[in-house]
Amino acid sequence: MPMARLSGILLHPTSLPSRYGVGDLGDQAIAFCDWLQAGAQRVWQMLPLGPVGAGNSPYMSFSAIAGEPLLISPDRLVEAGWLPAAALEQVPDFNPHRVDFAAVRAYKERLFVQAWAGFQVHATAEQRTAFEEFCAEQATWLDDFALFMTLKAEFGQIVWNRWDVGFAQRDPAVLAAARQTLAEPIALQRFLQFVFFEQWQQLKTAANERGVQLVGDVPIYVSFDSADVWANRELFALDPDTLDPAQMAGVPPDYFSATGQLWGNPVYDWETNAQTGYHWWINRFRHLFTMVDWVRIDHFRGFESFWAVPQGEETAINGDWVPGPGAAFFEAVQGALGKLPVIAEDLGIITPEVEALRDQFQFPGMKILQFAFDSGSGNPYLPHNYRSPNYVVYTGTHDNDTTVGWFNGRSPEEQQRVIRYAGYAGPDGIQWDLTRMAMASVADWAIVPLQDCLGFGSDCRMNVPGQADSNWEWRCLEGSFAPWMADRLRELVDLYGRWG
C-alpha cells in the first residue's frame, strides 16, 4: 500500500507509565496519543500484543490472536461498573522502571476474578449482549484459547504435550467433559478477552481520531506452547510420537549472536497450510487488521526460505535453509483480504530472492541506522544509499541497544565516523543526530524508539537477543511525554516535510 511521508514512535504498551506495575490501555495510553499528536507523530508502532509465555517475550505468546490481559486497565474496569473503586486503593509498591511480570500478574489476576464476579452481578443488558456477541463472533479461536489457558492452569502450567493423554491428544469426549467441569474458569478467560478487545478498540478509536495510525507486529512463528499449535497441530512440523517440534525455528549466526538464535518455535508444514488455502493465516491477518492500521511482519524472510534446526540441538548453528511458501502465500492472503498494509522486516541474511518477494508485493522494507556505519560508504543502511522511498527507517528497534548506549559502546574512531556522517555533533546528544538523519532521509516513514527521544542508555533497552531473562521489562515514568520533546519532533517534521 502507498505510504505517506510520516514519522512516529516505537513504544510497547507495557512500557507506558502506570501505578499498577505495567503499562495498560487506560489514561496513559490516551495521554501518549495526545503527545504524539502534539509532536506531529502520526505512527505508533508496538510489539505483538498476545499473552506472553516463556521469558515474558511478546514473540512467544500463548496465542496468535488473543490479547495480553495484563494490558487491561483496572481504572476502566471501575468505570464500567464491574470493579469497586475500593479494590484499587491498596496497590503494591511496584518498580516504576521495570515490569515484574510475576508480581503484576498475581496482583491483576485477583482484580480480574473480582471484576468477573462484578460483571455477572452488575453488567447492564447492553454489556451482557456485547459479551455474548463477542463470544459468538470470536468462537473460532476463543473457545480453544479459553480452554487451553484453563487447562494450562489445571496442569500446573506445563507444556500441553505433557498433559494427560486425552487432553494432549484432544480426545473429543475428554474435552467436552472438561468444558462442563471447568465452565467457570473458561468463562473468566472469555471475559478477559472481551474486556481486552473492548479497551483496545477504545484506544484505537482515540488514536485514529488524533491522526495516529497503529502499527502492530505479527511474528512469523507462534510458540509451541500455544493454543494455536495445540488446536491446529497438522499445520506444524511436529514429531508424530512425542508431539514435540520436529524442527525448530531460528536464524544462523548473525550480527546479534555468534551461535545464531534458536527460538524453539515449531516451523510450519507449509504443504498442509497450502492445502487449506492458508485458512489459519488468513484468519490471523483478518483479525489483526481489525486492531491495527499496519502490520510489521517479523522475520519476513522466512516466507521465502527459513532456517530449520533439528530437535535436540542446543544452538542454531546446525540448521538448513528450507524453501518457504513464497508468493503463493501472499497471493492467497491478498485474494481474501485485499491489498495488505504490511511492513516487511527484512533484516539479517537477505538474499535477492527475499528482496524480490518483498518488492513483488510492494511491501516497504526496514533500514536501521545503527547498522549503517561499519562497512564503508556502500553500506545499504546509510541514507544516501536508499534507492527507493519505500522503506521505514529506524534509529534502532526493540532488538537494538538504545542509540545512546550503542554510541557509547563504540570506539572513539567509530564514534567519529558517525559524527562525520552526521556533519556535526549536536548539543542535545547523538540520539537527536540519528533522529534528524532518519527524518531527513527519503524513506517514507521514520520511526524512533521512545528511549531515544528521552536520551536513555543501555539500561533502558527493551531486549537483548539471545539473553534468556530480564528482557521486555523497561517502563517509562509518568511525565516522560514532555512538551519540549513534542516540540522538537514537530520541528523536524516541519523541516523535512513529514506531514503526510
Give the least confident one: 154-163, 302-311, 366-375, 421-430.
421-430
Residue-level pLDDT at 214 = 98
- pLDDT tens column, 78-129: 999 999 999 999 999 999 999 999 999 999 999 999 999 999 999 999 999 9
Determine the length of the chain. 500
Amino acid at 246: A
Can you tell me the mean pLDDT for 285-300? 97
Residue-level pLDDT at 465 = 85
C-alpha cell at 294: 499496519
- pLDDT tens column, 433-449: 999 999 999 999 999 99
Decide if pLDDT at 257 tops 90. no
Decide if pLDDT at 396 tops 70. yes
Q: Are 370 and 431 in contact (CB under 8 A)?
A: no
Catalytic residue chosen out of the listed positions 24, 68, 304, 345: 345
Give percent above pLDDT 90 in the chain: 93
Decide if pLDDT at 359 tops 90. yes
Decide if pLDDT at 320 tops 90. yes
Can you tell me the mean pLDDT for 34-51? 98
d(CA 223, CA 203): 27
144-147, Cβ contacts within 8 angstroms, sequence gap of 24 or more: 144/227, 144/230, 144/231, 145/62, 145/63, 145/65, 145/66, 145/189, 145/193, 145/227, 146/186, 146/187, 146/189, 146/190, 146/193, 147/175, 147/178, 147/179, 147/182, 147/186
Catalytic residue chosen out of the listed positions 399, 401, 444, 473: 399
In the structure, what pLDDT confidence band is assigned to residue 161 with cuts at 50, 70 and 90? very high
- pLDDT tens column, 45-77: 999 999 999 899 999 999 999 999 999 999 999
Catalytic residue chosen out of the listed positions 298, 304, 346, 444: 298
**Residue 298 annotated among the catalytic residues of the structure:** yes
- How far is Cα of residue 13 from the mean position of the Cα atoms in its chain? 10
Amino acid at 313: E
Amino acid at 203: L
**Residue 126 annotated among the catalytic residues of the structure:** no
**Residue 314 annotated among the catalytic residues of the structure:** no
266 phi, psi to nearest 5 deg:
-70, 140
Query: Which residue bears the cell 474458569?
Result: 185
Rounded to a whole number of angstroms, the distance between the first and last alpha carbons of the chain is 14
C-alpha cell at 87: 479494590
Can you tell me the mean pLDDT for 285-307? 97
